[in-house]
Amino acid sequence: MAKKATVHFICSECGTNHSKWAGQCECGAWNTIKEFKESASRAGAASAMARGYSGSKESISKLSDIKPEDSPRFTSNNVEFDRVLGGGIVPGSVILLAGTPGAGKSTLTTQVLCEVSDKLNCFLVSAEESANQISRRAIRLKLQTEHLNVAIETDVLAILSMITQIKAKFVVIDSLQAMFHPDVQGAPGGVGQLRECMQVLTQHAKQNDVAMIIICHTTKDGSVAGPRVVEHIGDVMLMIEVIAGSRFREIRAAKNRFGSTSELGLLAMMPDNGYLKSVTNPSAIFLDRSRDPKPGSMVASLWEGSRSLLVEIQALVIDSHQGNPRRLAVGIDQNRLNMLVAVLVRHADLAMYDQELYVNLVGGLRSTDPSTDLPVVLAMVSSFKDRAIPHNWVAFGELGLSGDIRSVPSGLERIKQAAQQGFAHCICPKGNVPKNLSANIKVYPVETLTEAIDRLEEIM
């Protein structure tokens, strides 16, 4: 008599396994528990493993006895992509790439494969596009395609067989939601299918040192579609997003087992053919110093990962005709803006409690760097007093609730980057003033908010 399939109930939000359906998961999410039927053969293997039948003492080793193999990273020939990954692609790693439709996931991966296909055996597997579509894109991007292997397939076992057959070492799967495992019930994109496909692909990548980039769909809130266990299995989770109102894309790592998650990669989509080009000097695209200085504008030095970004912060302070003045922040935290206004009122004796406040981080960027406190405050003072700050001034520093200006990391690197971009003056915390500065920039150390505003009034 054939054994029945084992039924599991898995939360699509956190990946927790439940014995029965429930309306709410332990993670707090509602209506996210989905039914998943596991084949009898796999269920039997899992049961045997749980009873201790699938392992032996010989398979257990001391960590000190394990000698790691030297598997150096290889470059993708895309500076910004390598930056976010931590310096390149690690053989045997599984990289999840997600983003909104049209962000450039397929374009970026096709570029990367073609760039390295002359050095590595590369393989592109698509389940959503035809071979003709892929070829047209490569021609439009003017890529070298003679060394790239391409296949149109949705069966994950057939894909693994092809990878083994051609001995591929770098594979792109487009996309995970279109793949299916023949031994698992359910349609492609379901909880069970996603979980099983991800597991077998990861297992093959680890056992054969095959680097994989797996493209994933996203939900309305921007997270990866399917169970959260998909993100847990992968080594790297990358998000590519379109910077609103521009041709630029930003890449951030939500998870990275081989590097930092604080790096920011910037790509520019070329208007003629859609090629994604690395932006090696991001400060140049977020600054517009050609026009006359206006009140409410101040340049800030952000720190993203391992480099400094110079961006313009704009503030608008106007009289309010409502009982509850409106305060809006774009690109920075709304609660932090409210805190900065309270500090201004308390320690700078500026009557801004009845003013409407609008603050914008120019360029569509978002930042949680506390070093934006000082330039935001100076921009608001400039707008409040209707006096412009010269273009060649930059500022950074964290503002405490007692009105003190606190040091931030990498102060010297921020100052040097500002000097390279042509800035002549910098207002910064006293603790960030370098002892020896060869750059052609004058630094003004401040310890309190009052000192910073006094310095500002001297130049406005």
> Looking at the predicted structure, is the pLDDT value of residue 228 above 90?
no
Position 157 in a domain: yes
> Looking at the predicted structure, is the pLDDT value of residue 402 above 90?
yes
Domain boundary among 245, 280, 315: 280
In a shared domain, residues 343 and 448: yes
Q: Is the pTM above the cut of 0.85?
A: no
> Looking at the predicted structure, is the pLDDT value of residue 85 above 60?
yes
Other beta carbons within 10 angstroms of residue 66's beta carbon come to 8
Cα separation of 186 and 201, whole Å?
A: 18
Position 249 in a domain: yes
In a shared domain, residues 260 and 294: no
Q: Name the band, by pLDDT with cuts 50, 70 and 90, for residue 208.
A: very high
Position 60 in a domain: no
Compute φ and ψ for 99, nearest 5 degrees. Answer: 175, 165
In a shared domain, residues 269 and 134: yes
Taking residues 335-347, report their average pLDDT: 92
The pLDDT score that the predictor gives to residue 5 is: 60
The full DSSP string for 397-439 is: -EE-TTSBEEP-S-HHHHHHHHHHTT--EEEEEGGG--SS--S
Mean pLDDT over the full length of the chain: 87
Q: What is the CATH number of the domain that holds 246?
A: 3.40.50.300
In a shared domain, residues 269 and 327: no
Domain boundary among 246, 280, 314: 280
Q: Which residues contact 71 (CB under 8 A, 6 or more apart)?
A: 90, 91, 92, 209
Q: Name the band, by pLDDT with cuts 50, 70 and 90, for residue 243.
A: confident
The answer to whether 222 touches 100, Cβ cutoff 8 Å, is yes
In a shared domain, residues 10 and 32: yes
Q: Is 272 helix (H, G, I), strand (E, B) or coil?
A: coil
Q: How far is CA 58 from the centre of its chain?
A: 41
Host domain of residue 375: 287-459
The answer to whether 384 touches 344, Cβ cutoff 8 Å, is no
In a shared domain, residues 46 and 107: no
Position 70 in a domain: no
Domain boundary among 233, 262, 280: 280
Q: 20-78, pLDDT tens digit by residue? A: 788 888 777 787 777 766 654 454 444 433 344 444 556 788 888 887 766 689 999 99
Cα separation of 77 and 122, whole Å?
A: 14
Position 392 in a domain: yes
Count of domains for the chain: 3
Position 339 in a domain: yes
